Structure 1
């Protein structure tokens, strides 16, 4: 652990708090049939929302740091060795006797997720001293990305204290079930990024029509969030802010190899745009550009993602000039 007097002097970072897991993907080679064996191919890659955002952010040139829990096993060691190239992993804790979290996705023949399984029991091992121990790093962050893998008490503390000291924070909801960990009041949350199912769980509104996306976002805004983004798979996303900005971004069609990790790339791109001073619309377009890059690889994080590739993609598909806040 870095000593506190050193923390004051270090460069402020994008601090990513939450999941660091091993992703296993099993893709059907033909149409999925339930109740029988399906021919498939499988891959293993680095995963976890916070970890993915940290790596993507580092690849884009942001100074990123990861605060996560991993097990004292081969999977955990593999994660750290590879993440270390793109993000500071000094805050990540190794928990003896626990297995590193795993996320197993079953994909159909088109590369779309059919079902997924998450083994995240390690995140129940958070100690009472977690917040006190990590508070110096939290208060020194330039931006916080918080996913919902940690217990509700930790999530609540991070949101409240970030609000008190004025640090921008982005919530990645991870899954519909895990949205229940979020507090009723989200005052101080700068961005909340969710998919349709997660937005439905948060807003208690079934999203059927186009207008329902905006109605769900408006309900979420009333909890205190400044900017809400709801993703819509191949239809891109909608955004709605507390000052009345609203819009939809539909991505151009690109060859899809695997959609896993596309949402995490989206978050990284949005944060990149926001930290560069771009307005909401262009930050979202940067995020969509990162997502478009990511779906064209079988890896959860595109191995060739960098700032130059991002800007080339943005200029190709979203050619108008960038607008700053």
Structure 2
């Protein structure tokens, strides 16, 4: 069965502590704790499923209750979940402490299991069949560099579009060897600096710097500041509308990627894809969860009306 999108990447347990007041380092802080399945790939897959797309998810997991929790959450949304299970290992986890306003204080990523998802695992029969029966592929930089490079080589050889979520500056380095085979990378300015090898003095410079590094297209977000998107020679800039009452910033970037790719799958141009990604991110910022349960095609259309038209830079 052909699916709209194959997602290969992180699917683990997210644990987030929300502080109630001003952070006091080196001391006990009152707050609340929550736990849910997460990960860049998982979050994007959930959002894409809520937007009506057929989605298959491949991710490394441990043979434990946490892995079963991730699978159950994916299946509830109708995602075709195809985990690569390491029975003697624990499912990865991400533990974060957040300010009262939802911004990150510090996080710990226990994700060594992802390093075991080597390039040779792409040659497994079920994975090969999945790669051969999808309209587009989304990966994230939780995977090893050799695996990301092998995915890029497959995509380039078979004419399948391949996009990636950079995840973090430290993990974005793994995209560099195969950067020329990626059609689109979703990143923030710190991750873009890693890929480009230098910092842009003005956001409008990012496309030039990233093209020199070998990237065909990308979107560089900056929280509530200007987002830059480019595809080939086309460059656009959009200033997101302000979002009041932010519940949690976790997952907003993954929602942007899902909204953007959803629009592309429907044939949208760069400007509309940029607006739809921005609207999906705004909906997620209002949710206490990494993927907003309220996200739907109709609700997204309502928020899209609040997002301005982008400025064409070239």
- Category of TM-score, reference length = shorter chain: over 0.9
Among 193, 196, 205, the residue aligned to 2:189: 196
The offset of 1:45, in angstroms, is: 1.4
Maintained 8 Å contact 1:69/1:123 = yes
What residue is the counterpart of 2:95 in the other structure? 104
Maintained 8 Å contact 2:196/2:212 = no
Deviation digits for residues 43-80 of structure 1 (CA, Å, limit 9, x no counterpart): 11110101111111001001111010111111111111
What residue is the counterpart of 1:237 in the other structure? 227
Equivalent-residue separation in structure 2 for 1:168 and 1:135 (angstroms): 16
- 1:151-300 equivalence runs, <5 A: 151-207=144-200, 209=201, 211=202, 213-300=203-290
Instruction: Judge which range, 132-141 or 293-302, deviates more.
Output: 132-141
Deviation digits for residues 234-289 of structure 1 (CA, Å, limit 9, x no counterpart): 21511123213232332233321111011111100000111111111110110110
Maintained 8 Å contact 1:18/1:148 = yes
DSSP 3-state at the match of 1:70: strand
Equivalent-residue separation in structure 1 for 2:141 and 2:14 (angstroms): 17
Q: What root-mean-square deviation, in Å, do the aligned CA atoms of Structure 1 and Structure 2 show?
A: 1.8
User: Alpha carbons of 1:23 and 1:297: their partners in 2 closer, same or farther (altered >3 Å)?
Assistant: same
What residue is the counterpart of 1:85 in the other structure? 76
Could you tell me which runs of 5 or more consecutive residues in structure 1 were left unpaired when the two chains were aligned.
1-9, 321-325
What residue is the counterpart of 1:302 in the other structure? 292
DSSP 3-state at the match of 2:108: strand
Higher strand share: 2
What residue is the counterpart of 1:38 in the other structure? 29
Aligned: 1:94 with 2:90 = no
Equivalent-residue separation in structure 2 for 1:190 and 1:125 (angstroms): 25
DSSP 3-state at the match of 2:181: coil
TM-score (ref. length: structure 2)? 0.93
What residue is the counterpart of 1:311 in the other structure? 301
Aligned: 1:125 with 2:116 = yes
Instruction: Judge which range, 198-207 or 168-177, deviates more.
Output: 198-207
Equivalent-residue separation in structure 1 for 2:207 and 2:64 (angstroms): 41
Could you tell me which runs of 5 or more consecutive residues in structure 2 were left unpaired when the two chains were aligned.
310-314
Maintained 8 Å contact 1:217/1:230 = no
Equivalent-residue separation in structure 2 for 1:186 and 1:127 (angstroms): 18
Among 43, 47, 57, the residue aligned to 1:52: 43
DSSP 3-state at the match of 1:124: helix
What residue is the counterpart of 1:323 in the other structure? none
The offset of 1:176, in angstroms, is: 0.4
The offset of 1:188, in angstroms, is: 3.5
What residue is the counterpart of 2:312 in the other structure? none
Instruction: Judge which range, 290-299 or 176-185, deviates more.
Output: 176-185
The offset of 1:297, in angstroms, is: 1.2
Maintained 8 Å contact 1:258/1:297 = yes
Maintained 8 Å contact 2:119/2:147 = no
Equivalent-residue separation in structure 1 for 2:275 and 2:118 (angstroms): 39
User: Alpha carbons of 1:91 and 1:25: their partners in 2 closer, same or farther (altered >3 Å)?
Assistant: same
Instruction: Judge which range, 251-260 or 16-25, deviates more.
Output: 251-260
Among 3, 13, 17, the residue aligned to 2:8: 17
